[in-house]
Every structure is written in C-alpha cells, then in structure tokens.
Structure 1
Amino acid sequence: MPGRRIGQRAAVFTIIALVLLGAVLAFAVARPRGLPEAVAAVPAALICVAGGLVTPRDALHEVRELLPTVLFLAAVLVLAHLAEEHGVFAWAGTAVARFGRGRPQRLLTAVFAAAAVTTAVLSLDATVVLLTPVVLTVAARAGVRARPHVYACTHLANSASLLLPVSNLTNLLAFAASGLSFAGFAALMAVPWIAVVAVEYVIFRFFFAKDLDGRASLPEPPGPAPKYALVVLALTLAAFAALQPLGVEPAWVAAAGAVALAVPLWPKLRVRTLVTEANPMFCAFVLGLGVVVLAVRANGLGDRIDALVPRHADLVGLLLVAGLAAVLANLLNNLPATLVLLPAAAHSPGLVLAVLIGVNVGPNLTYVGSLATLLWRRILHARDAAPRTGEFLLLGLATVPLCLIAAVVTLWAGLRLSGAS
C-alpha cells in the first residue's frame, strides 16, 4: 500500500511537471506582450521547489551545473554585439555580395559560407540576430529573391552549430557531459559538420532552383576589413581550444574577447547597452527551465527516457539516439530535449554527440524546434518578409532526415577511427 501511494504521488508530480514545462514552452513561443521567457520559467521553477517536485538542494545543484554555460551565453552575446559595432557583419555582407558577382547561385554559396562560419565561431544567435538582417539587405540591393538566402541563415544557425563546443548552448551542455577536450570535440564533429552543410547546400540548390535563376546587380567594392576585430575573434577562438585543457571556463575567454573589443569603442559604449545585450532575462529563463526539466526527469519520466536510449554507440544506436533527440526537440524544443536526454547518454561520448546531432539538426523541421528559429521568424515578420509555413515545413522534410543520416554515419566512422565511443 505505501508503495502504491508513492507511485501515485510520482505520477501526479510527473503530470504537474509536464504541465509546467508545457506552460513555460508555450509562453516562450507566444511571448505575450513581448514579455521575456523568464516571466514564466522562473515562477515555474519556484513552484517545482515549493511543491516538492524537486528538493531545494537538487534545484540549487542544477543551477550551479548550468551556471557556467549560461555565463558563457551572456558573454558570447556581448562579444557578437561588439563585433557588430566594429563593422564585422557589415563587412561580411559586402564581402558576400562581392563574391556573388551578380549571380544568385554564387551569392547563396557565399551566404552558406558566412552563416556556417558565423554560427561555428560566434554561435547560432549571431547568425540569426545579426547576419539575417544583413543578408536581407544584401539580397535587396542585389535585386535577387531573398528566400533561399534567409532560409539558409536559420537552417545553418541550427545545423552548422555542430562544430565547436561554443557554437550553441546545447553544445556546451553536451560538451560538459561528454568528457571530451575542446579539440577532441571539434575533431569528432568536423566531418559531420561538413557533411551536414554540404547536404543542406545541395538540397537548397534544387529546392530554390527557380529563385536562383537570372542575374543580380553588381555590388560596390567592399570597404576595408575590420582587422582589429577579426584578429580579436580569431585569438578568442584559439584561446577556447588552448585554455580549456587548463580548466579555464569558456565564459572567461569570451568575456576577455569582449573586453578587448570594447576597449577601442569605450568612449561611445554604454554599460546599460552591454547588460541588455547579455540578455539576463534569457539567462534566467535557461536556469528556470533547467529546474523544471529536472522535475520532469526526477518524477519518473527520466527512467522512461533512459529505457529508450541504447547502451552502445554502434551505428544503429547512434541513429536511434539522434532520431529520438530530433523528435523530442520538435515536441519539447531543443534545449529541454537536451537536458532530458543527456543524463541517459552521458556514459558514452558517442551517444552524447548523437544527441547533439538530433537536437541541432532536428529543429529545422518545425518553427518550435529551437528558440533561434522562433527568433528568426520574428525578425522576418518585423521586416515584412515573413516565411511561408508550408514552404518551411517542406524544406525541413527535405533536409532534416538526410542531414541526420549524413551526420550520424560520419560521426560513427570518426568514432571508429579515433577509438572513442
């Protein structure tokens, strides 16, 4: 009888936790009156603690575990903003237009390269928030249809974030769980990253063939490159790899890069602007969401998820894990999907990376798959360039399955060659 009561209590707690998670995600998608996501996530986390769904000690431990990742997110958002202030994205836009030479196909190639590199180095948020408006402007000035190029921004913001631990918030979580070094992570994900970008590019060329016909206006020559900012970004990226084995958190490296970019701009910078760019409310959302997801896992759902995750990182196991992660990303959003799955996969670096493939590539299937995609959609709506839902879904169906397979097969080959599993 006591055991039955405990089981009923766990079932009730699971339902409550799932309702809270659903409410938080629905609020994040809708953002009524433009309110930040934390308005729902933080109270939901407090309800989980006050209601006994998680203990205060476990909640505090989860926040401490997530805090380095969240601090990095804040630092890299400031880093990307300062890079924009130095003219990095404006210069990239003119360079992209120049490479296009009046031909939409070449322009798409240049946008793919710019989006893939921006995502890998400055994270997917920089691609969505800073590069997408630049690409829209470049397409308008060139007199070409913007659709292929702006779709490339959101697809590569998700799928091209596979390369480095610092490319995505999900990557940082997976990196912490994998036990790999910065260089080891990048080495294993380099070929899957190339494979995904290549598959996306080929499909885009066919899918948007009519939009890529014709000629475009020749652009003006690009201005001088912002050399100081580019050097600082390159040194920051090198420092991520060099200092991680020494135990230096990526947040400190990103913060140092931001300080270096801020120094020449200091007379016209405002501290309030930098704080706003760090997006503390979104950081609070991530921490609150982590506690809510912990409540979901701790009250029974975690055991069910664990039972679905294979124990071995063979090809079939990797495909199953990546597929499961992609499905959960589109049902729950990729961040909570990562938090739910990583504990079940943490015994194998290969399975952790397969989870990452699923939660990074999978969100290209629906708008709700990632917060970055939702933000991209919001940006286009604000510029009267709203995407077509049917077209978005068809493009996702065309790209996501093939990209998942290409990434997982190349990851499996890399794991076999490296001896990691």
Structure 2
Amino acid sequence: MRSAIVGAVLLAVGGVLIATGVLPLEDAAAVGERVWPILLFVVAITIVSELCAEAGVFAAIAHRAAEWGRGRTLVLWLLVVVIAVVTTVFLSLDTTAVLLTPVVVVLARHVGVPPLPFALTTVWLANTASLLLPVSNLTNLLAQHRLGGPSPIEFAALMALPALVAILVPGAVIAVLHRRMLVSRYHPDEPSVAVDPVLFRSSIVVLALLLPALVSGVDVWIPAVVAAIVLVVFFAVRRREVLRFSLVPWQLVVFAAGLFLVVDAANSLGLVRLVDAVAGSGEGFVDLLRLAGTSAAGANAINNLPAYLALEGVASSPHRMAALLIGVNAGSLITPWASLATMLWHSRLVGLGVEVSWWRYAALGAVVAPLTVVGAVAVLTLAP
C-alpha cells in the first residue's frame, strides 16, 4: 500500500507539472506511449505467475526438487538456485520474490534445514539474475526500448557474461557462509500436493508455450497477455473464487507511472547534466565501473527504478547501458528498499514467521554487491 500512496502522490505532482507547463503535454504523452506496453506486460506476467502458483506449479517443482536432491542438502540448494534463476530470467524478479520465497521456505522446513539461507538465495538471485533478458526486470524493458529495441537474443548476448558473474558471486558467498548446513543430509518425504489436475496441466502447457515466446522477438506484452487471458478463462471455469482484483499489481503500476512522470520532468529541468558530471563518460573499465557504482549507490539510496530513470540519459551506448543495469539490478543488495522485489520478499518472510535482521542483510550486501558489480563490469568489457 505504501508504494501505491507514493505513486498517487507522484502522479499528483506530475499532473501539477503538466498543468504548469514544466512538463509539456507532448513529453508526457511520449512517456505514456513508451511505458504502457511495459506496464501491461508487468500486469499480465504477474497474473500468469499468481495463477500458476494457485494451480500448484511452483509447489510441485519444489517437491520434485526435494526428491531430486536425494537427501543431499547441497544438491537441493543447487536445485533451488536453478529454479530461482529460471523463474527470475523468464518471469521477472518480482515473481521470484513473491511466489518462490514461500515455496523455498516451506521446502526448507519440510526437509528440516534452516529456511533463511534458502530465502537469502532467492532474494539475491532475484535481483542479480535479472540481468539476462528484457523480461527479467522492469529496468531491462526500459533499457531495451532506449537501445532501439534489440531482440531478446541480442540483449542476452550483451548481458550474458555479466549475468553469469552476477549469479555465481552471490551463490559462492552463500555457499561459503552456510557450508556446514550445505554438507548435511535430509530425509525427503513423499510429496503431497493437492491440485486441480486440469488447472495444473493447463498452467504447465501455458508456461511451456510462454517461455519461448518471451524470447522470440515478439513484443513481450503480447504473449504475456494471451497467456493471462487463457489462464483466467480456465480458472473462471474451474476456480472462479481465485480471480480477484488483488491479482493485478495495481500498486506497482501506480508507483511506476507516477515515477516516470516526475523523473521525466526532473530530466527536463537539468537532472541529466547533474548525473552526467557524477557518472562520467567513456567505455573503458574504469568508466563503466564509475557508472555502475553510481547507479548501485543510487539504487541503495532511493530505489533501483528511480536510479535507473535518473541515469538513463548518460547511458549513451549498449555497454554503458549494460553497466547501468549492472548497478541498479545486481548492485541493489544492501538496503531493504533498493528494489521492490526485496521489499516484497521481506513481507513474505514476515508472513511465514521467518525473522530477518536488516543489519545483517545490509552487512552481507555491502560485501556481495561490490564484488558482484566489479566482477560483472570486468566481464562486460569482454562483450562484443
């Protein structure tokens, strides 16, 4: 609700800026034209993810992972890493934070291991693995538009090495921190997931068709909307009570819409010149690291979305845009407000009775974020 309130205030401020001429109506219309497909995709993919969770897809995956782990906690954790990466890459970081977090917590408790290392894996990878594809993060969709609409494959070619580093570094830190737990063993029970077989199978089919469609080069909002409509129809027939307004991430939409207007107005008033002096220029390692570091600091100070919008104007080439994304995505691991995914993750943990020390979270993030950003920028210089 807080994000919705902030978004409503930002929309009101944006309305005042338009009315007073600070933000010309033509510029505001251009902002709307740019962001409506992105926000529509966010709405559609959230509905798809929520309905798949209701159908038992994620719970079934978690139970199957417990079986595949064969009693070895390390193998089970590695399977969680894979699931978190795949979910983030194709269904966005917010999906991982909202839907996968309770699954891995229940899974950890089910096999008798502490849930926090699994939950920490989820939130770190939700942020860092979101570098790979445009659909993985709202900032990536904005960057794709800014770069002139490269295909998902072209986008992934630029971000593949940084994304790999951004997955390996947090994973390695967790493996070292929790090495004693990871060498333990557990005794898996038989999975017992009560699901509607029609909804379960239809959700699996929809996901199987949706994932390749998201990297096919078609505007991502189109397959996402189609998938959402198909699942809504199935649920309307089988479990109508699940179809509630809360499936729509309206708070995020309001927050993002207001933010776009206000930051665009700030850019027209000279914000770009200010951040240009801080973020510098050039495409050498030091130059890219300067931009990534600036964007990471901005993300942890305010939030990764406004940090991206403020610095977008100085990302004048594909490599500089990649460095910006490294900072706002992989670098947002220190403060709890650095990304919406982290805030959603925390709210899920509170509901599950898992305590998180923000001081410890920030201390760990202050180690992992710089290592991840530096490593990702270093390999970025190897990209063509």
The question of a shared fold, defined as TM-score above 0.5 by the shorter chain, is answered with yes
Matched, 1:237 2:211: yes
Contact between 2:4 and 2:255, CA under 8 Å: does it hold in 1? Answer: no
Contact between 1:141 and 1:217, CA under 8 Å: does it hold in 2? Answer: no
Range that drifts further, 133-142 or 228-237: 228-237
Counterpart residue type for residue 275 of structure 2: I
Q: In structure 1, which of residues 156, 164, 178 is the aligned counterpart of residue 147 of structure 2? A: 178
Matched, 1:268 2:238: yes
Q: In structure 2, which of residues 268, 273, 292 is the aligned counterpart of residue 298 of structure 1? A: 268
Segments of 5+ residues of structure 2 without an aligned counterpart are none
Deviation at 1:222, TM superposition (A): 7.3
Contact between 1:108 and 1:148, CA under 8 Å: does it hold in 2? Answer: no
Contact between 2:276 and 2:314, CA under 8 Å: does it hold in 1? Answer: yes
Secondary structure (helix, strand or coil) at the match of 1:369 reads: coil
**Structure 1's 369 and 381: CA in aligned 2 closer, same or farther, altered over 3 A?**
same
Contact between 2:8 and 2:254, CA under 8 Å: does it hold in 1? Answer: no
Q: In structure 2, which of residues 30, 34, 47 is the aligned counterpart of residue 65 of structure 1? A: 34
Report what 2:189 is aligned to.
219
Contact between 1:37 and 1:281, CA under 8 Å: does it hold in 2? Answer: no
Deviation at 1:275, TM superposition (A): 4.2
**Structure 1's 272 and 311: CA in aligned 2 closer, same or farther, altered over 3 A?**
same
**Structure 1's 290 and 369: CA in aligned 2 closer, same or farther, altered over 3 A?**
same
Matched, 1:113 2:87: no
**Structure 1's 270 and 288: CA in aligned 2 closer, same or farther, altered over 3 A?**
farther
Secondary structure (helix, strand or coil) at the match of 1:106 reads: helix
Q: In structure 2, which of residues 168, 178, 182 is the aligned counterpart of residue 208 of structure 1? A: 178
Secondary structure (helix, strand or coil) at the match of 1:312 reads: coil
Identity %: 36
Contact between 1:102 and 1:219, CA under 8 Å: does it hold in 2? Answer: no
Mapping for residues 2-401 of structure 1, pairs under 5 Å: 31=2, 36-179=5-148, 180-212=150-182, 214-221=184-191, 226=200, 228-244=202-218, 249-270=219-240, 273=243, 275-345=245-315, 347-401=316-370
Find the aligned partners of 2:23 and 2:124 in 1 and give their Cα distance.
36
Counterpart residue type for residue 288 of structure 1: G
The alignment's C-alpha RMSD in Å is 2.3
Find the aligned partners of 2:74 and 2:350 in 1 and give their Cα distance.
25
Deviation at 1:312, TM superposition (A): 2.6
Report what 1:18 is aligned to.
none
Find the aligned partners of 1:272 and 1:61 in 2 and give their Cα distance.
36
Contact between 1:36 and 1:282, CA under 8 Å: does it hold in 2? Answer: no
Range that drifts further, 313-322 or 35-44: 35-44
Find the aligned partners of 1:75 and 1:199 in 2 and give their Cα distance.
31
Range that drifts further, 122-131 or 280-289: 280-289
Secondary structure (helix, strand or coil) at the match of 1:133 reads: helix
Deviation at 1:299, TM superposition (A): 1.6
Contact between 1:77 and 1:126, CA under 8 Å: does it hold in 2? Answer: yes
Contact between 1:207 and 1:395, CA under 8 Å: does it hold in 2? Answer: no
Deviation at 1:198, TM superposition (A): 1.3
Report what 1:3 is aligned to.
none
**Structure 1's 45 and 263: CA in aligned 2 closer, same or farther, altered over 3 A?**
same
Deviation at 1:169, TM superposition (A): 0.6
Normalised TM-score (structure 2): 0.91
Deviation at 1:350, TM superposition (A): 1.0
Tell me the alpha carbon deviations over residues 15-59 of structure 1, each in whole angstroms, 9 at most, x when there is no partner.
xxxxxxxxxxxxx7xx2xx96543333223223334443223322
